[in-house]
Amino acid sequence: MKIALMQETAVPLDMAGNLALIEAAAHRAREQGAELLLTPELFPVGYAPAQIRAELSAEDVAAVRVEAAAIARRSGIALVASLPGQQAPEERGITAVLFGPEGERLGQYQKVQLFGSEEKESFCPGSMAPDVIRLGGLNLGVVICYDIEFPEMARAAAAAGAEVLLVPTALAEEPQVPRLLVPARALENRMTVAYANHCGSEGGLSFDGLSVVAGPRGEILGELGSEPGLLVAEVGPRPASGAEGPWYLEDRRTELHRQWI
């Protein structure tokens, strides 16, 4: 299965402009044979937690969600769009919605690990483990940004059967995450991890870019630098049990680990 990762610069609360960038990327991805487009965290509305909380209504979010589904349908490609939840501003979290190529909602995840004081003051954390969704012959899981920095989050997705973990992110000034932690999460769970970031200056932050796809042995299947771009990579199933190791999933002793933590 080919997937595409969009790396671009959003403008906070310029939903029309941000969605236009997503649609252009979706068409380019489809032309290159991709079946799914992964976009960065909160890209349709821009990454600006306090501004989103203060100025974006539930009706605004609903309208953006409808348009994201329409982009998937018009482009004929599955789409992961990270959006504020549809609840009232004081009750919503950061979500990632997987739309199918006909615009249908296949799954939704709410970010569990909120990062920093601004996110924690602007959003509510999720409490549910990542869903695993079957698409294109693969089991896909979704977590968001800071989640991937916690080994428990990727392990929960892998234990539920995820073969590819999709990670919309908004990462600034922490290049060790895509360069070290993303390949490590892929290796230790023997699955592919796709990590799509913003780039450039946005809402007072300077985003790293460095979007990356790491394969199940920690190998880099594709990566971008600091500029806008579209990364297309071929991803596949988890290596068969009994294949060349490591065998972390098979050898873990969860009955002991649960007693220690």
Concerning whether 124 is annotated as a catalytic residue, the answer is: no
Helices assigned H by DSSP within the chain: 15-31, 49-55, 58-75, 116-122, 151-159, 176, 182-189, 248-251, 254-260
Residue 212's Cβ-side half-sphere holds a number of Cα atoms within 13 Å equal to 24
Three-class SS of residue 123? coil
- The DSSP call for residue 137 is T
Tokens of 203: 């809402």
3-state helix, strand, coil in the chain (%, to 5): 35, 25, 40
Q: Which of 8, 23, 41, 188 is catalytic?
A: 41
Q: Which of 8, 35, 119, 145 is catalytic?
A: 145
- The DSSP call for residue 88 is -
Instruction: Determine the structural domain holding residue 92 and report its residue range.
Output: 2-260
Task: Give me the number of domains the chain comprises.
Answer: 1
Concerning whether 145 is annotated as a catalytic residue, the answer is: yes
Cβ count near 3 (within 10 Å): 29
Containing H/E element for 139? strand 138-142
Tokens of 81: 């769009």
Concerning whether 2 is annotated as a catalytic residue, the answer is: no
Q: How confident is the model at residue 239, as a pLDDT?
A: 82
Give bridge partners of residue 133 from the DSSP assignment.
Answer: 140
Tens of pLDDT, residue by residue, the chain (261 residues):
999 999 999 999 999 999 999 999 999 999 999 999 999 999 999 999 999 999 999 999 999 999 999 999 999 999 999 999 999 999 999 999 999 999 999 999 999 999 999 999 999 999 999 989 999 999 999 999 999 999 999 999 999 999 999 999 999 989 999 999 999 999 999 999 999 999 999 888 999 999 999 999 999 999 999 999 999 999 999 887 666 777 888 888 989 988 998
- pTM of this structure: 0.96
Q: Which of 111, 119, 149, 163 is catalytic?
A: 111
Contact 226, 209 (CB under 8 A): yes
CATH code of the domain covering residue 236: 3.60.110.10
Gyration radius from the chain CA atoms: 17
